[in-house]
Amino acid sequence: MKSTIRDVAKMAGVSISTVSRVMNSPNSVIESKRERVLEAVEQLKYQPNAFARGLIYKKSFTLGLLIPDIENLYYAGVIRGVQDACIKLGYSLMICNTDRDKDRLLSYIDTFHEKQVDGVVLASDILYPEYYDKLVGCRIPFVLVSSHSDEYDIPSVEIDDEAAAYDAVKFLIELGHKEIGMIGFNHDNSIAGPPRYEGFIRALTEFGLERNIEKIKYANHRYEHAYQATHELFTDFPDLTAVFCVADEFAMGTISYLKDRNILVPGQVSVVGFDNLRMASMFIPKLTTIAQPIYELGYRGAEKLHELITTGSVELRREKMEHKLIVRESSREK
Amino acid sequence: MKSTIRDVAKMAGVSISTVSRVMNSPNSVIESKRERVLEAVEQLKYQPNAFARGLIYKKSFTLGLLIPDIENLYYAGVIRGVQDACIKLGYSLMICNTDRDKDRLLSYIDTFHEKQVDGVVLASDILYPEYYDKLVGCRIPFVLVSSHSDEYDIPSVEIDDEAAAYDAVKFLIELGHKEIGMIGFNHDNSIAGPPRYEGFIRALTEFGLERNIEKIKYANHRYEHAYQATHELFTDFPDLTAVFCVADEFAMGTISYLKDRNILVPGQVSVVGFDNLRMASMFIPKLTTIAQPIYELGYRGAEKLHELITTGSVELRREKMEHKLIVRESSREK
DNA sequence: CTGAAAGCGCTAACAC
DNA sequence: GTGTTAGCGCTTTCAG
């Protein structure tokens, strides 16, 4: 059996309240006893039982994190951010990978409810009414990372996707490209899809390149889909000299396709990605991309959640962080 | 406030034991009451409090998972495996990323102890005596995934690293390569380093290519180090026509270096990786590599842990899973 | 400064 | 079948 407060009390020859006191406010116990207690704690490797504590405090000091796809490098960064913030704040973290499955996410919320997590951060996913209702029904505070909600008033941290996409496309235009395509996220199951699309359109429009507006194919988060979408894109529009990919993973798929077709990148076609994953600089060619402060997004999200939990509200409802264009090898002047 | 068993009992007009019964063995309660209870549960969104339950059962139905580097795709796969197994087994999972920091790992064990996890899986890390002592001191059962221990008798699941490395090198030799180098893991902080080194040596020896035995440089888990190590390797041995990399991430670093030096892969140098990460087939060129059953390793590890927790021991102490050579584009006949 | 005792929410005997 | 009750391990009044 694991040792309990009673074991410690007995070994130190004091009452359990005294043991409790040295664990929580050591100064309220006279030194001689305190030392005996500490000694016993050490000997017995005593750790207060979190269940018993949770029952009293009605807090688990645990946060939940919901992510759509753990095999996507993007989330590795946010996880690290959230986890580091948790360490700083004295929380544990329960990370759950939903594989983009609604039911699975919903059932994780049940788990969170049962385990009494103090709050959850929902990363990069649309806040569907089912999610909202359930979370609110369970009275679990939550925040959105790399996402936001227009419908509900929920704290969120993300970048300005529209502006970032605009910057990427503008960069391509200023490089002299006139025939520009895009591999985007499906609008109906992604939160970043619409704003990045808008940014693409705005840049095109501002520079009088409206003819490109329809040169878009959509993919579904993974490399393979982007590969296929690129095939469709170039079948329909073989004269493209640049493509804006709304994710680095898409950019890799696009470049792979082009490579298989013996089309040089950046020689014949320039490609710009989005996210600046760790892979972006490992890929050949190294990806020109929009850098998101991924780690910071996660870190900030956890801080915001903590603020929400402890004060009941947050200062900045919808927070935006800075993005940055990183020019590497996959793009070139036309 | 979240609703408790008492709220439900009151609303349904029964005693709390009846509520408890419908939650745990529904059939022991007469239908009419059961329905009223279920109705109340629904209405109040009642979830039994895991703290209270844990206090009684002395089980948290939670497992801990310790991984060295969440930004390494390898772990994404094992996490998914472990997590899926946990869902099947009715456990929650607490994933902790140690960033290869000993103290951090140790402090996660404290957290696990406090939260009373029922067991932990330690992935891909050497079982240092400090880890062992602490885990055993806290009486937490644990298993090793992609690792093993000669010193201690701890259940483990992994592949046969020596044989896998041997296969990779043999493949290169049979392709006609005679000048073969290796980028390995440092032996002092990696569990797979020594056996993969042994496999390399055995293949070389068996085929009379002992002259290559010293053509090894070591790197430290990440791409950048492998890039640097490759630089050193080719500086010392410019005539190499093949290199065996003990990780796909290393293979990417090696290929990147070669590319920067205008050395063609596989035209002039063949490269074989190890792991078969998702990236292996996205990279250009697609990586020839040793496939590990990563997901299954995680899944099996969790099952083994469950076996250990529930029965007190495991059938197969040190389990090996199958590896497989996958030939893609980064290798070619000499 | 310290001990006794109540009680957090739940389960599991134990009566009825 | 169902209600009553005694804890599980801990914190926190409340006395002293």
For the segment B62-118, what is each residue's pLDDT rounded down to a tens digit?
999 999 999 999 999 999 999 999 999 999 999 999 999 999 999 999 999 999 999
Contacts of A47 in chain B (CB under 8 A): 110, 113-114, 138
The answer on A25 and A109 residing in a single domain is no
Give how many domains chain A has, as a whole number.
Answer: 3
For residue A22, give the CATH number of its domain: 1.10.260.40
Residue B234 covered by a domain: yes
Residues A149 and A178 in one domain: no
Query: Quick check: is A303 in a domain?
Result: yes
Query: Using one digit for the tens of pLDDT, what is the confidence trace for A241-291?
Result: 999 999 999 999 999 999 999 999 999 999 999 999 999 999 999 999 999
Integer Cα distance of A317 and A157 in angstroms: 8
What residues form DSSP beta bridges with B181?
A: B243
Nucleotide nearest to A15 (CA to C1'): C3
CB contact under 8 A, B52 and A51: yes
Sign of torsion over alpha carbons B327, B329, B331, B334: positive
Kindly indicate the confidence band of residue B124, based on its pLDDT and cuts at 50, 70 and 90: confident
Mutating which of B46, B59, B115, B299 best tests the A interface, going by the most A Cβ atoms within 10 A? B115
Nearest-CB residue to B55 (from A55, A113, A255): A55
Chain CA centroid to CA B269, Å: 30
- According to DSSP, residue A210 is labeled G
Cβ-defined contacts of B206-212 (< 8 Å, 24+): B206/B170, B207/B170, B207/B173, B209/B173, B209/B178, B209/B180, B212/B179, B212/B180, B212/B181
- CATH number, domain of B68, equals 3.40.50.2300
Please tell me which residue of chain B has the smallest CA distance to A56.
Answer: B51
In contact, A169 and A199? CB cutoff 8 Å: yes
Q: How far apart are CA A334 and CA A178, in angstroms?
A: 9
A197 and A154 inside one domain? no
- The residue range of the domain holding A38 is 5-48
Mean pLDDT throughout B179-204?
96
Average pLDDT, integer, range A19-29: 93
Per-residue buried b or exposed e for B227-250, using 16+ beta carbons within 10 Å of the residue's own CB: bbbbbebbeebeebbbbbbbbbbb
Q: Residues B135, B223: one domain? A: no
Q: Which band of pLDDT confidence, cut at 50, 70 and 90, is reported for residue B306?
A: very high
Euclidean distance between CA atoms B146 and B196, whole angstroms: 13
Same domain, B150 and B191: no
* Residues B224 and B277 both lie in one domain: yes
The band of B161, judged by pLDDT with boundaries at 50, 70 and 90, is: very high
Same domain assignment for residues A167 and A269: yes
Q: How far is B263 from chain A (nearest CA, A)?
A: 13
Q: A239 and A286 share a domain?
A: yes
Protein residues closer than 7 Å by CB to strand D = A 1, 4-6, 16-17, 19-21, 23-24, 46-49, 51-53, 55-57; B 14-18, 21, 28-30, 32-34, 52, 55-56, 58
> Which of B60, B71, B105 would you mutate first to test chain A, the one with the most A CBs within 10 A?
B71
Chain C nucleotides close to protein (CB under 7 A) are 1-5, 7-13
Q: Could you say which DSSP state residue B126 is in?
A: -
CB contact under 8 A, A51 and B45: no
pLDDT of residue A2: 83
Chain B residues close to A135, C-beta within 8 Å: none
Interface test with B, best of A1, A42, A51 (most B CBs within 10 A): A51
Q: What's chain A's average pLDDT?
A: 96
Size of interface A-B (CB pairs under 8 A): 118
Residue A98 lies in a domain: yes
Q: Nucleotides of chain D within 7 Å of a protein C-beta?
A: 1-5, 7-13
Mean pLDDT within B178-201: 96
Q: Do A71 and B71 touch (CB under 8 A)?
A: no
- Where helices occur in chain A by DSSP H, the ranges are 5-12, 16-24, 31-44, 50-57, 73-89, 102-114, 129-137, 161-174, 193-206, 223-236, 248-260, 294-311
Per-residue confidence at A124, pLDDT binned at 50, 70, 90?
confident
Residue of B nearest to A47 (CA): B114
Instruction: Kindly report the nearest CA distance between residue B320 and chain A, in angstroms.
Output: 24
pLDDT of B334 > 90? The answer is: no
The per-residue pLDDT for range A165-217, each reduced to its tens digit, is 999 999 999 999 999 999 999 999 899 999 999 999 999 999 999 999 999 99
Answer yes or no: is B332 within a domain: no
- B117 lies in the same domain as B189: no
- For A92, the 3-state DSSP assignment is strand
Task: Pull the structure tokens for residue A59.
Answer: 């807090």
Mean pLDDT of the region B184-196: 95
Same domain, yes or no, for B87 and B188?
Answer: no
Contact A178, A316 (CB under 8 A): no
For residue range A56-108, list pLDDT tens digits in order: 999 999 999 999 999 999 999 999 999 999 999 999 999 999 999 999 999 99
Which residues on adjacent β-strands are paired with residue B218? B184
Q: Looking at the predicted structure, is the pLDDT value of residue A1 above 80?
A: no
Per-residue pLDDT of B220-230, as tens digits, reads: 999 999 999 99
Percent of chain B with pLDDT strictly greater than 70: 100
The protein side of the strand C contact, defined by CB less than 7 Å from any of its atoms, consists of A 14-18, 21, 28-30, 32-33, 52, 55-56, 58; B 1, 4-6, 16-17, 19-20, 23-24, 46-49, 51-53, 55-57
Asked whether residue A328 is domain-assigned, the answer is: no
Q: What is the pLDDT of residue B232?
A: 98
Q: Please, what sign has the CA dihedral across residues A197, A200, A203, A204?
A: negative
Q: Is A112 left (phi over 0), alpha (psi -120 to 50) or beta?
A: alpha
Q: Are B86 and B92 in contact (CB under 8 A)?
A: yes
Residue whose CA is minimally distant from C7 C1' = A56
> What does the pLDDT read at residue B119?
97
Contact A251, A287 (CB under 8 A): yes
Name the nucleotide nearest A4; use CA and C1'. Answer: D9
| Euclidean distance between CA atoms A211 and A207, whole angstroms | 11
A54 closest CB neighbour out of B51, B71, B138: B51
Is A40's pLDDT higher than 90? yes
Residue A256 falls within a domain, yes or no?
A: yes
If asked whether residues A172 and A276 sit together in one domain, one would say yes
Token pair for residue B62?
């939670």
Q: Quick one: pLDDT band at residue B235, thresholds 50, 70, 90?
A: very high
For B158-169, what is the mean pLDDT?
98
Specify if B331 maps to a domain.
no
In a shared domain, residues B232 and B301: no
In terms of Cα–Cα distance, which of A273, A266, A326 is closest to A74? A273
A288-291 and A324-326 beta bridge pairing: antiparallel
Q: Is residue A253 part of a domain?
A: yes
Q: Quick one: which of A292, A241, A201, A116 has its CA closest to B49? A: A116
Listed residue (B120, B124, B121, B112) closest to B75, CA to CA: B124
Q: Do B111 and A96 touch (CB under 8 A)?
A: no
Integer distance in angstroms from CA B56 to C1' D10? Answer: 13
Inter-chain touch B255–A284, beta carbons under 8 Å: yes
CB-nearest partner of A92 from B45, B94, B255: B94
